[in-house]
Every structure is written in structure tokens, then in C-alpha cells.
Structure 1
Amino acid sequence: MDVLIVGAGPTGLTLGIDLARRGVDALVVEAGEKLFPGSRGKGIQPRTQEVFDDLGVRDALRAAGGPYPPQLFWKNGERLETQPIFDEVTADEGAPYTDPLMVAQWRTQEVLYARLLELGGRVGFGQALTGLEQDAEGVTARFADGRTARARYVVAADGGRSAVRRAVGVAMTGESVDPNPFLVADLRVRGLDRDHWHVFVGADGNGVALCPLAGTDDFQLGAKLPEGTAADLSLAGVRRLVSAYSHLDAADVTELRWASDFRPRAALADRFRVGRVFLAGDAAHVHSPAGGQGLNTSVQDAYNLGWKLGAVLAGDAPDALLDTYEEERRANAAAMLNLSTGVHRGEVRRGEATVQLGIGYRESSLTEETRTDPGPVRAGDRAPDGRNADGVRMFDAFRGPHWTLLAPDPVHTVPESVRRLRAPESYGSGVFLVRPDGYVAWAGDTARGLAEYAGRTGPGARGKR
């Protein structure tokens, strides 16, 4: 096979979808016997909604979830005040999605899994990786049941305790974000409305928050525990925790569906590529869940890597293109770790900083800005939505695994596989070559130099399969 993806979480499923629509022979393997059952990551940021629009799942996810409710703070059984979770970000033609969407992680995975199967992708459950060996032609993976698999490339999407990362000997460098232990759980609760995210803070500064999970009958419990205590993940333990910090009785917690504990830590893998093995998602970066960055950054890792693997495997680009995955995504992950730590510590507000619409690759070696006086959209920027003079919507034009050329006049120096149309006026003047992942790769006053760029790193490059 071409690609073995280890881990069937949001990262692995997203990558599987992107490769399947490119005709790449890929297999997703998962150590568990089924998809992850909890709602650890529930926020889908606007930039990730754009990614999911391209992958054909945004409508299904909107149907499966809903908006975030405001926080309602309680004290001694009395309502105190409500506050929005996020500062408002104004939508415009270039950024039509600005509100985070709440979808329980298990629901997100169900939607992604269904899309992967629809595209002919495969997932093998009950396959725990125990080791791997690389050679010049590919990677051999070994599993706990004695089976082996051979692939040209392997992608670690198997979480913070990644077996793949350990197998290739990559360390993670980081620090503790908070000395207190935390608990997260999905449960059923009576006695609370579903119009608010209910917050109960104790005199010791610790407490619990109960958020109604959109599209389900569950609440997500998030609890900060006193330093030095151990989390009790049993139903009885969760009941004691809720009754200790809120006005609810223990019996008001009627069912515990899933629970986990963690200690917030920010850590970054020292490398994202080791030969034919790539690290993505939590296998490459772990952090506080504050700010809803984790699942989103992980999905965008997969989105960045998918088109590059597809191009190299098809012989349309040299292997060196794959080095830009680490170059682009490791720097992005490092910035995300700082951001999520800032949100956790109350130093950064949720809103403009956390919607991820400003993420770009201006410093990437793949990016070339040749104009002397760039306009509002520069090479390396996310390519905004909008309509051109012909009435074509940009996100509709970008949807799919192709490159897109935006030029005022016909250009004949790029491959026929590149979609061509005029840019909206909001882009400013110039010629723009947009990557398959929706970022401007090259920009110029005219098309001069475009053919050379495309032949070296873009859609006109030819590599060795």
C-alpha cells in the first residue's frame, strides 16, 4: 500500500479522507475495537470548518452539533452572571464562518468515518502497533496480533502516547501548564437547563463546569481538582465531585458514559518527519485543551500532509516536498502551544486569536511573493472566500484536490489540471496560485515566473515515484 495511517481519531480519519479522494491506496489502523467513545475535543474552529467544507463533511457536522451556549456562573445554588465563551468575530465575504461549532468528538469521528467509507477508504480496528522498521523503499509495521503491513509511508496519528513516535525514537520537549489534575467526562445530568455552560467554582479556586453537548442528551463535565489529589473516574467519584462543588445532589448525575483524567502539559515533538514516517496531531504536539486548538490543529496537520503525500506518490512532485510538512506545521504547532497555554492561564481571550483564520505560511520555502507592492492577500496567506466578476464563489472553486490559478487573463504556462478563473476584487491586483489546502503558494504582478515555480515545487513539478 501507499500509506499506513496509525490511529482512527480526527487526525487519521481526516488524512484518510484526503488521500482517498486522491486515489491513494491508504489504510487506517486503530488499536481499539471501535472509534473513540468520548467528547474530549468538542470545538470546531472556523478554519477547520473551511477544511471540512472542502472534504465534504461540514454540512453533516453542522447537523450533528450546534453553537456554544454562554457560561452561567453559580454560587451557593444562586445564578450570578452569564458570559459569552468567545469574543465575537465579525463574518465577511472572505470569512463566512467565524463562530466555533460544538460537536462531540465521537460524533465528529462518526461523520469522518462515514465519509471515509463513502470514498472507498478502509479502517482496520483491533490493530495495535508494536514496532516498525524502515528501509529505502518503505516501512514494515508490526502489530500485536502478529500481523505485519508494508507501506511506502507511515503517519503517526495515534495520540499523545504514540507508539509510532516511540518506535522512531522522537522525543517531546515541553513543560507543565498547570500543577492541578483535571478530569473530563460525558454524563447525563438532571436539574440543569441546556441553554448554558454551567460553572461552579469553589472557595479553593477549583471546581466543575457542565456543558450541554450540542446534538446529544449528554453534558460534558470539566473539573479542576485540588493539587495533589487523584481523579476518581467511577460513577460514584464523579457524583461526589459534582455534589461537592454544585447545588446538585449526587443522584442528579444519572449516568456516566465516559471519563478520563489529565494534567495539562505543553510539549512538542522534536521532529515531525523521520525518513518515511510522519507525526501528526497529538503524536506531534500535546497541550492544554483551553481555547479549543487541539483537534483543529491536528486536522490541519492532516490537511497539510495529505496533498503533499498525494503529489509525491503520483510522481507529480519530488520527495523534498514532504520536508515542508515539518517546516510548516511544526512552527504552527509551536505557536499553538503558546496560545493554548495563554488561554489556560487567562492571558489570552477566546475569539480573534483562537479561530485560526490568521494561520498562514508566509515564511515557508514553498511560498513566493514576487510583487513589489502586495495587496491585502499575500503569498502564504489563507485564500479568502468571495465572488469574482463571473459570480463564482472561491470556496466552491477551491473545493477538491486540485490547485487553482486566479488571474485576470488566460495563462498557458501551468498544467491543464490547474483550475483557472479570475480573482475577486477583494484580493487586490495580481496573479495567485492557490495550493490544494487553500493557501496562496505564489503571487505576482503578472504570470512571469509562475511556470518556473510550478515546475520546481508546484503542480508542474515531476518527481520520482
Structure 2
Amino acid sequence: MDSKSHPRVLIAGAGPCGLVLALTLRQNGIPVRIIDKSTIPAIGQRGFGIQPRTQELFQMLGIIDQINAQSRIVPPFRSYAPEGRVPLKTWESTPTLDPVPAFPYRNLITLGQNHLEGILRADLAEKYSCAVDVGKTLVSFTQDVTGVDVTIQDEIHGTQKNERYDFLVGTDGARGVVRKQLGLSFVGESRPSVQLIIADVRGSGIDEDHWHMWGSLQSDGLFVRPTGVPGLFGLAMTLSGEKVDCEVVKANPALLQDFIQRVVARTEFRVTEVEWITNWTPNIRMVDKLSLGRCFVAGDAAHVHSPTGGQGLNTAVQEAFNLGWKMALVVQGNAPLSLLDSYNEERIPIVEEMLLKTTNLLDQTMVAKPGERKHWDRGGALLMLGINYRWSAVVLDEQDAEEENNSEKDPYGVRTTGLRAGDRAPDATGLKENRSAVFTQLSSIFGVAHHTVLLFSASTERCTAVLEALVHYPANLIHLVVVQATPAPLVADGEKRVLEDTQGHTYAAYDPILKAGCDIVIVRGSEGVGRYFGRILL
């Protein structure tokens, strides 16, 4: 953070959710402090699936290249007969899809959570002078109408300090302080009948080109996943009627080997080291609301669920991004405090739907038999590209003024059709800069720290009218981009950016809106321009 600026936001918890929130705020110029009780980064792959929608956010945050350099596409699944050596079936959990102009990211990729956290920490420290303050625990807090007073314990020196912030965000996990002291409900269920051993192990004797499955998770079952790090595997196992002391097993890998041999007759798969191991029992819970006053929760502090479907980490990252850009506007004095109400309004339905989907997948997975691929398909809505906020109070859709934002909620976009306000903004390639003749794509002009106003018009008069509507708002927060169809004559640049849609991808992607008579699309989150920004900006 800027050493001359006192942090305005305290983030308690330095997992992916807290780190993405910190990165979003810093890219908006907001000084933050992020603390974590642990003195060392977390180990273990843990949440390792990164969905296409989250990949798009990581591109916007400027870290997708580092992630792509370390991640991998999910390899095929392979199930085995009881003796362990003969494959029953090999299949893809979701077909590998080629990128298209509107969807540059279409496949689930895997990257251990520890590696993702490393990328985020490095980016925060190197580019934004914001290092995680380790060995610090949030003890307690109180709030009033202007800020939050906190007490922080220094675990290394055994001292406490009182500080004040504009906002507090708890990304401190299911057992964290923020949700508990706010008194938020955590309603749901536990399933003690389901007991899994989850571990990262060093091993050999098995190929690293498949995810391997033996037995059934209803009784004795084993799931082995290559991580992309040579010789390192993720392991999930059920043992009927067996209690496992993970600390003992970590110190003695031979014990884990014995457990594996109970499930798999394939003796050439040998475990040589246990890097990380834990017992896991399903807890399916969520808060009734994500905030109270100036205090917020996100990620595991707000919801816990089955990892089936790879939704948890992604939901947390998307929450952090949603809250981050809004909180930045409020801290800057560019938006009213009430804008933060939309965090609850937009994200609670997403979390509710996510819990339904992951619980359903858990139920299917637990009854799946060897070779039953139907229980392991992970495409479609789980890629999260249909997630939307059509119902949000800060969303303005002039395509249907009579039914504005009154459509039935469909958080994952399973039933919705067409393109409406609140949806993911389609990407497009083949855009040529009027000034430089350099080619770009839409996602490259979208940003964390500004709104992008896309104007589909070649009319100088229309451009002037939109500029006049925008003059009332901070220029650095709103970028006007004129997108013109080829071969329409290009208007003069003036105070706007002009892009030529040389391949027609942009006009094709936004065709439903254009046919409805709208020629303006505001991305992030005339008269319509003023009405929209009047909802979020001061």
C-alpha cells in the first residue's frame, strides 16, 4: 500500500477471496491492509478448479498469464475394475472446447490453491506494495456510522493494537471471527455419515495423464488426481468404518499406503510422502446476509459446501470482485454507501443456487458406481458463464422498460435467453484501433477501475449527446468506446476511443440488444446513460 496513506479497508483472511479483494481495491487506488493469523502461506491444493468465468476476472486483474503458465486442462477420467489394473471406462468430464470470439475461456483449468495464492500475493506485493501482514489475528471489532474500530493481536510478539478503518471484510473462513461477532446466521446441514480423507501426496507408479477412480465413495473408494506438478497427486479416499488420525498418517506415509491397498489391488502405486492431509465431512451452510453496517463477509466465511462441481473458490473470487469495485467507488467518494447494498442483493441468490447445485452433485457422486460417467459430467452451467444479476436494483435495461428487472431470478442463467442488462458482457476479437490501427479485443478494454460505455453508432451527433451525458461524472471512471461496423465511415476520435469491428464479431455478439433498439451498453457491473450512472455514482 502507499506508505503515506492509512489503509481504508481491513481484510481479515489471506486466502484467494481476501487476496482478490485486496487486488481489486489496490487496482482502484484504495489503500488496504490484509492480515492472516498464519505466519506462512497455506499448503495444499485444496480448491483447485478455476472456471471460465473466473478466468475472465483474472484476465481483467492482469494475472491470467501467470495462471495459464502453471495450470492445466482437466485430463480424462479413468475408472477401474476392483482388481485395480483394468480400466472400465475412460471419458472427459466435460469436452475440451476451442475458444470463440465471444467466449475466449471455455474450459475448466486446474491450479492448486497454494499456487494461486502465491501468484496473488506476489502481484499484490510487487505491483501495489501490499504484502500480507502475517501472524495477525482479528480479536474483536465495533462499528458506528462512519467506520469500524478493531483490535488486532500480534501472534508473534503477543501484543494487541486498536485501529480504525472505513470498512471491515471477513474472508477468514467458516470458523472466522467476523461472521460470528456480527451474529449472522449460518443455516444449513452437516453430514457426519460422509467421511473423506483428502491429501496431497508424493507418489509413483501411476500415469499423470488421467484422473483415476477405484471403488465407490459409499464404502471404500479412492480418487487420485495428478496436479500438474510431477510426482504430486491429489487424493480423496473413503474407508468404511475407519477413523484416521491425519497427524499420525502425515508422519508415517506407510499407514496411508496400507489404507490405499485396502481399496486398490494395484501395488505399484506407491506413496512416498504426505505433504498435506485432512479429514473432511460435508457442511452445507450459508449466511442469511453478507453484510451488516460497514462489515462484510465473503468466501468460506459466508458459505460452506461440497467441492463437487468446482464452484466454491470461484464463487468466493467472484464475490470479492463484486464487492471490491463497489467499495472502491464508495471509499473514493464517487458513490453513496447504499451502493454496497447491491452486494447482498446480487450475491445471495448466486450462493443459494450454488449450494443447490453442489449438494445435488455431492448426492450423485456418493452413489456413483465405477464407470458411471453420467454422475461426473461437469460442463454446462457449472462453467459459470451464465451467472447474471438481471434482478439487481443497480441494473438498468431499456430493452423492456415496462418489465425492468422484474424477470424471475435465474442466477446461473440456465433458463434465460437472449442478452440482457446484468448478464456477462460477451467478448469479441478483431477490433482495430482508429488511431493506431492496432488490433484488440473487448475484454482488453474493460477494466477493474472504470466503467466502459460501448456506443454502437457512427453518428457524430449521437456521440456528442452521449459525451454530454457523461460530462457530469469523473472522467477517469468512465471510458467511452465507439464501435463501428465495417465498412462504415469512422467518426472523428475527439474525446472517445473508436474501434472498427473488422470481422463483425462485436456486432454479432451484441445483436440481440441492437435489434431491441439499444445502441449503448455499459460494462461493469443519452438519457439511459444518465439514469444508469445516477443509480451508482454521486
**TM-score normalised to the size of structure 1?**
0.91
Secondary structure at the counterpart of residue 324 of structure 2: helix
Q: Matched residues in 2 for 1:204 and 1:449: separation?
A: 56
Shift of 1:238: 2.4
**Residue 385 of structure 1 aligns with which residue?**
427
Counterpart of 2:519 in structure 1: which amino acid? V
Q: 1:154 pairs with 148, 161, 168, which one? A: 168
**Residue 132 of structure 1 aligns with which residue?**
141
Q: Matched residues in 2 for 1:202 and 1:137: separation?
A: 54
Indicate whether 1:289 and 2:296 are aligned. Answer: no
Secondary structure at the counterpart of residue 189 of structure 2: strand
Q: Matched residues in 2 for 1:23 and 1:132: separation?
A: 25
Shift of 1:82: 1.1
Describe the shift of the 1:408–1:187 C-alpha distance in structure 2 as closer, same or farther (beyond 3 A): same
- What pairs up with 1:213-224 in 2 under 5 angstroms? 213-224=227-238
- What pairs up with 1:314-353 in 2 under 5 angstroms? 314-346=332-364, 349-353=377-381
Q: Percent identity?
A: 33
Secondary structure at the counterpart of residue 94 of structure 2: coil
Counterpart of 1:344 in structure 2: which amino acid? L
Shift of 1:216: 4.8
Q: Tell which deviates more after alignment, 234-243 or 131-140.
A: 234-243
Secondary structure at the counterpart of residue 286 of structure 2: strand
Secondary structure at the counterpart of residue 72 of structure 1: strand
Q: Matched residues in 1 for 2:351 and 2:209: separation?
A: 33
Structure 2 residues without counterparts, runs of 5 or longer: 1-6, 155-159, 365-374, 405-416, 433-438, 458-462, 484-505
Q: Tell which deviates more after alignment, 176-185 or 93-102.
A: 176-185
- What pairs up with 1:18-417 in 2 under 5 angstroms? 18-75=24-81, 76-80=83-87, 81-88=89-96, 91-117=99-125, 118-145=127-154, 146-176=160-190, 179-201=193-215, 205-226=219-240, 229-233=242-246, 234-235=249-250, 236=252, 237-249=255-267, 252-346=270-364, 349-372=377-400, 376-387=418-429, 390=432, 392-409=440-457, 410=463, 411-412=466-467, 413-414=469-470, 415=473, 416-417=475-476
Deviations 1:133-167 (A, max 9, x none): 11222112223332233211010101111221112
Counterpart of 1:116 in structure 2: which amino acid? L
Secondary structure at the counterpart of residue 8 of structure 1: coil
Deviations 1:403-435 (A, max 9, x none): 000112412112433112235212021234434
Structure 1 contact 87–352 (Cα < 8 Å) conserved: no
Shift of 1:122: 2.8
Q: Matched residues in 1 for 2:385 and 2:216: separation?
A: 36
Describe the shift of the 1:380–1:182 C-alpha distance in structure 2 as closer, same or farther (beyond 3 A): same
Structure 2 contact 84–214 (Cα < 8 Å) conserved: no
Q: Matched residues in 2 for 1:106 and 1:392: separation?
A: 33
Counterpart of 1:386 in structure 2: which amino acid? A
Structure 2 contact 204–231 (Cα < 8 Å) conserved: no
Secondary structure at the counterpart of residue 380 of structure 1: coil
Counterpart of 2:232 in structure 1: which amino acid? D
Structure 2 contact 121–131 (Cα < 8 Å) conserved: no
Shift of 1:63: 0.7
Q: Matched residues in 1 for 2:218 and 2:527: separation?
A: 65
Q: Tell which deviates more after alignment, 402-411 or 415-424.
A: 415-424
Shift of 1:173: 0.6
**Residue 443 of structure 1 aligns with which residue?**
none
Structure 1 contact 70–82 (Cα < 8 Å) conserved: yes
Shift of 1:203: 9.6
Shift of 1:177: 5.6
Q: Matched residues in 2 for 1:377 and 1:250: separation?
A: 53
Q: How many residues align?
A: 449
Q: Matched residues in 1 for 2:217 and 2:388: separation?
A: 43
Q: Matched residues in 2 for 1:244 and 1:348: separation?
A: 24
Shift of 1:379: 0.3
Shift of 1:448: 2.8
Structure 1 residues without counterparts, runs of 5 or longer: 440-446
Describe the shift of the 1:334–1:372 C-alpha distance in structure 2 as closer, same or farther (beyond 3 A): closer
CA RMSD after TM alignment: 2.2
Secondary structure at the counterpart of residue 530 of structure 2: helix
Shift of 1:304: 0.2
Secondary structure at the counterpart of residue 354 of structure 1: helix
Q: Matched residues in 1 for 2:330 and 2:429: separation?
A: 32
Shift of 1:244: 1.4
Q: Matched residues in 2 for 1:21 and 1:389: separation?
A: 25
Shift of 1:275: 0.8
Counterpart of 2:131 in structure 1: which amino acid? R
- What pairs up with 1:441-452 in 2 under 5 angstroms? 447-452=526-531
**Residue 480 of structure 2 aligns with which residue?**
420
Shift of 1:129: 1.8
Secondary structure at the counterpart of residue 208 of structure 1: strand
